[in-house]
Structure 1
Amino acid sequence: MHYDFIPQPEREKLVFPNGKTIAVILTTNLEYWDKERDDPAPYYPGGPGIVGGTLPGNVYDNPNWTWREYGQRVGVWRMFDVFEAEGIPTSCTMNAKMALERRPVIEAAMARGYEIVPHNFVQTDLLTDFAHDKDAERAVIRETLKVYRDVVGKPARGWLSSSLRSTLNTADILAEEGLTFFTDLLNDDQPYLINTECGRDLVSISYTSEVNDFTVFMRQGMDVDGAIKVFKEQFDWLRGEAITQGSGRVMNIGLHPHVVGQPFRIRALRDFLRYVKQFDDIWFCSREELADWYLDHCAQGAPEKRAV
């Protein structure tokens, strides 16, 4: 994996379709956790728990597991209701085991026309477990992509790793498997090209760990109004930059059904959606739409392409 360092002021203008200034992506992470692992090493769930302390992987952690399962049983349906009521789509990421163990959630997302992006095989296993074994990492990715194809009915186009814990080989493997975009990198407000060993470029569509319900609610302890303020502040500043500089920006919010899907937090999502709906220059796109548009309209003239 290689990508060039192109400072913001040196880039070509990014002009979105129909004069839109900012692409907004609301990411709903559909994740499944195994109750136990055949390993006494500490259990890594990929996010903070509701009860402190880390148990061995081969010991069932009831409060934390059932708290997360609340998102599958209740929280995600509350979120889907809000997205439907406000007429704004969400981009869903999906562990393979979520598709196997919680199929109704995936079918509901597909029935609503929501994008689904592979999100590793299971939330509790990380690609970094195979940082020095490219063949083993490729096997996990291929198995995940197989389940995706079987369940969704078409090949995957992009990827988000569990906890964003990819390796230096991940992008190269994804390109070899024919994918188009990669979502793990946190380093930009615009798409850009990632060059890979096989010669097939990937589009980086950055995720975010700060404008994220885990961060605002669980790590920073904000209430609903505090979270709304963060979401709006991010949106307003990015949109202002895009208008002033004549170059589009991308805003993503990372959401988890067991966090923002709680009754006392869901208003943060609803009120933010109602806020952004008042602007007519917003592109509520999927990652696939953004990646395809970038490849079709910008990639050949991108600074990182010209530098090759």
Structure 2
Amino acid sequence: MPYLPARDFVGYGDKPPLAEWPGGTKLALNIVVNYEEGAEYSIDEGDNVSEAILSDLAVSPAVPGLRNRNMESLYEYGSRVGVWRLLSLFGDKNIVPTFYVVGRALELNPDAGKAIAALGSDIVCHGWRWIDYAPLSEAEERQHIAMTVDAVQRITGIRPLGWYTGRPSLNTRRLVVEHGGFLFDCDDYNDDLPYFVEVGSRRHLVVPHSFDNNDSRFSRGSGLETGSQFFEYVGDAVDWLVAEGRTTPRMMTVSLHCRLAARPGRMIGLARFLDKIKANPDIWICRRSDLAQHWLNRFGG
């Protein structure tokens, strides 16, 4: 049996393609806001355990059959307060992020979806539920892809052009391509540039996501605790990539979660970062679908 998805340890090697970002910029920078609240593992959603990761509770033991009200409440903060705080900040700074939207979360708070659309954001589908898709059957995962696309289009009026599960199965990329309508997916972390893969007979674009320039590190015991520390880390990444971009322009993803980055003690660091990138003419601050479309226009689909 073939080992699929196949692993690639070579990539572009020492000959990465010249991205030629718009205006001669050195770095394409995309900010992603993950909207997941309400779609995580929950007894209320028919799961046999409560969510155990990605909150300020860090890792919480999942006890079969029992609700974890602390975890539930921490997730609720993201939809009740966090998403609105982030939308307000991005509006004030005149920066348009991409939203990774989980279908069930959007269904539970459609007003958030309407506000995301009003900001001008593009939407990357983030699964129907914020769960691990490896145990699901191929038929169920296929159904979830269709349900997510339908919810996004119905509630926001936006046609989603990208996909990111986050906890994918080995079938996810093939099913996304099979569904059609997507320009790209983001379910890899292995490069600082987009790249193409072969999925069946189709050449498919991958725009890699990031776990390092990611506020999930607040919840992973990585030593990242404050907004100032986050600013220093992602700011250093920008400085390095802009300098490297004088010869090899790259892309960078900064990933935020409504229940993590939008805590008051972290917002000043995020605001400082937005000011930093806006002041640098060598940075193209872009939506993810615009970055993908640029790559497809330049290198073909």
TM-score w.r.t. length of structure 1: 0.88
Aligned pair partner of 1:172 in 167, 171, 174? 174
Structure 2 unaligned blocks of 5 or more: none
Aligned to 1:126: 132
1:265 maps to which residue?
266
Give secondary structure in 1 for the equivalent of 2:128: coil
1:212 corresponding residue in structure 2: 214
Q: Which residue of 1 aligns with 2:97?
A: 90
Q: Secondary structure at the match of 1:117?
A: strand
Matched residues in 1 for 2:120 and 2:267: separation?
22
Q: 1:77 Cα shift?
A: 1.3
SS of alignment partner, residue 199 of structure 2 = coil
- 5+ residue gaps in structure 1? 301-308
Deviation of residue 205 (structure 1)? 1.0
Q: Percent identity?
A: 24
Partner amino acid, structure 2, of 1:56? V
Paired with 1:154 and 1:273, the residues of 2 have a C-alpha distance of: 25
1:158 aligns with 2:162: yes
Aligned to 1:20: 25
| Counterparts of residues 1-308 of structure 1 (less than 5 Å) | 1=5, 5-33=10-38, 35-36=42-43, 37-40=45-48, 42-50=49-57, 53-123=60-130, 125-130=131-136, 133-161=137-165, 164-178=166-180, 179-197=182-200, 199-216=201-218, 218-219=220-221, 220-243=223-246, 245=247, 247-299=248-300
- Alpha-carbon shift at residue 146 of structure 1 (Å): 2.0
CA distance in 2, matches of 1:148, 1:216: 28
Q: Distance in 2 between matches of 1:255 and 1:213?
A: 5
Residue pair 1:21, 1:282 contacting (<8 A) in 2 also: yes
CA distance in 2, matches of 1:153, 1:205: 23
The answer as to whether partners of 1:128 and 1:167 remain within 8 angstroms in 2 is: yes
- Work out the CA distance in 1 between the residues paired with 2:123 and 2:257: 14
Partner of 1:305: none
Look up the SS of the partner of 2:32 in the other structure: strand
Q: Is the 8 A contact 1:127 1:165 kept in 2?
A: yes
TM-score normalised per structure 2: 0.89
Change (3 A) 1:216 1:172: same
Query: How many residues get paired?
Result: 291
CA separation of 1:141 and 1:129: change in aligned 2, threshold 3 A: same
Contact 2:52 2:60 in 1 (8 A): no
Task: Quote how far apart the aligned CAs of 1:222 are.
Answer: 2.5
TM superposition shift of 1:53: 3.2
